[in-house]
């Protein structure tokens, strides 16, 4: 009895992946998108936590975390990403599966028509899904229905759909074969313990030379010739060989996944794995710490260089300044600007420095005067504090 174990496992993994990619843009947590780089709000949502675009260091940290984690997976799992998880493989497998289902049941022209229709539908769904990572699905759908309302979005949708369609019909696996740099890159990352798919040299004499492993290979290679950069570790050849050997009651198949290169090698983390594991952990902790402790208020001060300080009738000097206050929270906030307690009476602020209302995810600029006693050219350090009610939201030190 043939047992396509790897293929069915791979299809289950791919089904979960497709379902996750399609459903995640619709998922929300605490009223926020679960994961989205929302262009209109200039906000990255990570597990529902909003990170505003001016908190770029957190976006950078999140990107670094994903990249290093991906490298770690590459060192451990090798090219399993290519054959099991890469969108190029997943969607090619899906289009192939749809084509196979109909090929035997309908005439060739109808089958070709179905092939085009399925490639077009899959591409349109991919395109819609991609846009939903940057805008809410409801906004994308509304803009596509009323296409004149957002021509840029419509153009993006059509362009991605067209590329997807041509990719599924014409480029297919040749992208992995000839253009994708990941295979070359992965070769440099291989560790002594990396998962690998190989022909079991120790069983070579049992090979029947039936070529079943070659016929099923989507990359058109012969794995019996040893490691080849084109192999995407999809495991189809494992199933093909197991099927042949099982039918002939001739023992296990001759191709399998194994960690390392020698028979029976178990997973043993090498130096690259350990190093990348530690970096991933440090970045993950840093990201969680940054998200938990992020400030909801942005506060910056600028001296208005074009305006000269004014000397007031009481001998005090008044210097014009500009404050930029950003509210990163999700509700309006009323701020007030004050000087640090010991400086009250010596330094005062003149202008619209109280009841400064800032809308959520907006910034506001105010100009005001810092009135202080000028002491014979000696610079004075002043701490300006921004309060949200009675809570100190931010403070900045300036020199007058
Ligand atoms: S050699 Fe096997 S694992 Fe590699 S691409 Fe071909 S069928 Fe997939
Ligand atoms: S399927 Fe197995 S037995 Fe047949 S040629 Fe390939 S490795 Fe040999």
CATH of the domain at 351: 2.60.40.10
For ligand 2, the distance from its centroid to the CA atom of residue 88, given in whole angstroms, is: 27
Pair (79, 220) in one structural domain: yes
What is the rounded distance in angstroms from the CA atom of residue 173 to the CA atom of residue 176? 5
pLDDT tens-digit series, residues 180-204: 888 777 877 877 778 889 999 888 9
The H or E element that residue 34 is part of is none
Minimal-distance CA residue to ligand 1 atom 7: 217
Pair (208, 345) in one structural domain: no
The H or E element that residue 324 is part of is strand 317-327
For ligand 2, the distance from its centroid to the CA atom of residue 232, given in whole angstroms, is: 18
Regarding the beta carbon of 210 and ligand 2, being less than 6 Å apart is answered yes
Q: Which tokens sit at 46?
A: 């990570």
Any domain includes 213: yes
Pair (138, 188) in one structural domain: yes
Pair (45, 103) in one structural domain: yes
Q: Which tokens sit at 283?
A: 């970045």
Pair (270, 309) in one structural domain: no
What is the rounded distance in angstroms from the CA atom of residue 338 to the CA atom of residue 386? 6
Domain boundary among 262, 284, 306: 284
- pTM of the shown model: 0.75
Distances from the Cα of 19 to the Cαs of 125, 160, 212, in angstroms? Answer: 12, 20, 32
Q: By C-alpha distance, which of 251, 237, 243 is closest to 203?
A: 251
Minimal-distance CA residue to ligand 1 atom 4: 231
For ligand 2, the distance from its centroid to the CA atom of residue 228, given in whole angstroms, is: 17
Pair (142, 24) in one structural domain: yes
Any domain includes 228: yes
Q: Which tokens sit at 394?
A: 């931010």
Domain boundary among 233, 258, 284: 284
What is the rounded distance in angstroms from the CA atom of residue 85 to the CA atom of residue 355? 53
Any domain includes 96: yes
User: 348: buried, middle or exposed (CB in 10 Å: 19+, 13-18, 0-12)?
Assistant: middle
Domain extent at residue 376: 297-399
Pair (190, 151) in one structural domain: yes
What is the rounded distance in angstroms from the CA atom of residue 37 to the CA atom of residue 51? 9
Q: Which tokens sit at 400?
A: 């007058």
- Give me the number of domains the chain comprises: 2
For a substitution probing ligand 2, which of 211, 226, 235 has the most ligand atoms within 8 Å of its CB?
211
Any domain includes 291: no
Pair (181, 329) in one structural domain: no
Pair (306, 344) in one structural domain: yes
* Digitized pLDDT (tens) for each residue of the chain, 400 residues in all: 445 589 999 999 999 999 999 999 999 998 899 999 998 888 889 889 888 887 878 889 999 999 999 999 988 988 888 999 998 899 888 888 887 777 777 888 888 888 888 889 999 999 999 999 999 999 999 999 998 888 999 999 999 999 999 998 888 888 888 888 887 778 778 777 788 899 998 889 999 999 999 999 999 999 999 888 889 999 999 999 999 999 888 788 999 998 876 656 677 788 888 999 999 999 999 999 998 888 889 999 999 888 787 888 877 888 899 999 999 888 999 999 998 866 666 788 999 999 999 999 899 999 999 988 766 666 678 889 999 988 999 999 988 7
Distances from the Cα of 377 to the Cαs of 317, 368, 373, 380, 384, in angstroms? Answer: 12, 22, 11, 9, 21
For ligand 1, the distance from its centroid to the CA atom of residue 191, given in whole angstroms, is: 20
The H or E element that residue 54 is part of is none
117 CB neighbour count, 10 Å cutoff: 12
At 190, is the secondary structure helix, strand, or coil? Answer: coil
Any domain includes 290: no
Q: Which residues contact 306 (CB under 8 A, 6 or more apart)?
A: none
Any domain includes 74: yes
Domain boundary among 231, 260, 284: 284
For ligand 2, the distance from its centroid to the CA atom of residue 262, given in whole angstroms, is: 20
Distances from the Cα of 77 to the Cαs of 6, 378, 388, in angstroms? Answer: 15, 64, 50
What is the rounded distance in angstroms from the CA atom of residue 123 to the CA atom of residue 165? 5
Regarding the beta carbon of 169 and ligand 2, being less than 6 Å apart is answered no
What is the rounded distance in angstroms from the CA atom of residue 186 to the CA atom of residue 160? 27
Which ligand sits closest to the CA of 255? 2
Any domain includes 201: yes
Regarding the beta carbon of 241 and ligand 2, being less than 6 Å apart is answered yes
Any domain includes 347: yes
Pair (201, 82) in one structural domain: yes
Pair (379, 321) in one structural domain: yes
Pair (9, 95) in one structural domain: yes
């Amino acid at each position: 009895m043939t047992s396509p174990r790897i293929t069915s496992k791979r299809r289950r993994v791919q089904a979960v992946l497709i379902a996750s990619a399609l459903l995640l843009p619709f998922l929300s947590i605490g009223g926020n998108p679960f994961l989205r780089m929302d262009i209109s709000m200039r906000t990255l949502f990570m597990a529902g936590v909003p990170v505003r675009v001016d908190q770029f260091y957190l976006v950078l940290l999140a990107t670094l975390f994903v990249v290093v984690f991906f490298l770690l997976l590459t060192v451990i799992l090798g090219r399993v990403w290519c054959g099991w998880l890469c969108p190029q493989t997943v969607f090619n497998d899906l289009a192939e599966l749809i084509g196979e289902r109909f090929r035997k049941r309908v005439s060739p022209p109808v089958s070709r028509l179905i092939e085009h229709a399925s490639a077009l539908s899959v591409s349109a769904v991919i395109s819609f899904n991609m846009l939903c990572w940057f805008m809410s699905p409801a906004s994308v759908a509304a803009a596509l229905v009323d296409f004149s309302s957002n021509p840029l979005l419509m153009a993006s949708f059509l362009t991605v759909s067209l590329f997807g369609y041509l990719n599924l019909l014409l480029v297919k696996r040749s992208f992995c074969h000839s253009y994708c740099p990941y295979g070359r890159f992965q070769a440099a990352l291989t560790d002594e313990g990396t998962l690998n798919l190989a022909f079991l040299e120790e069983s070579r004499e049992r090979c029947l030379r039936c070529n079943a492993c070659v016929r099923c290979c989507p990359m058109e290679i012969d794995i019996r010739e040893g490691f080849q950069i084109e192999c995407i570790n999809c495991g189809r050849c494992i199933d093909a060989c197991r099927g042949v050997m099982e039918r002939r009651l001739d023992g296990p198949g001759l191709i399998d996944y194994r960690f390392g290169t020698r028979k029976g090698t178990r997973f043993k983390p090498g130096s690259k794995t350990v190093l990348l594991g530690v970096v991933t952990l440090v970045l993950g902790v840093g990201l969680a710490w940054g998200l938990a402790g992020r400030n909801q208020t942005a506060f910056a001060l600028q001296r208005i260089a074009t305006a000269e300080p004014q000397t007031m009738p009481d001998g005090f000097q008044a210097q014009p300044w500009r404050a930029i206050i950003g509210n990163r929270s999700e509700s309006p906030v009323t701020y007030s600007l004050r000087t640090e307690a010991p400086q009250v009476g010596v330094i005062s602020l003149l202008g619209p420095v109280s009841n400064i209302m800032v809308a959520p995810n907006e910034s506001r600029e105010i100009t005001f005067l810092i009135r202080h006693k000028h002491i014979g050219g000696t610079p004075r350090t002043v701490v300006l504090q921004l309060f949200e009610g009675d809570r100190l939201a931010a403070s900045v030190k300036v020199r007058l």
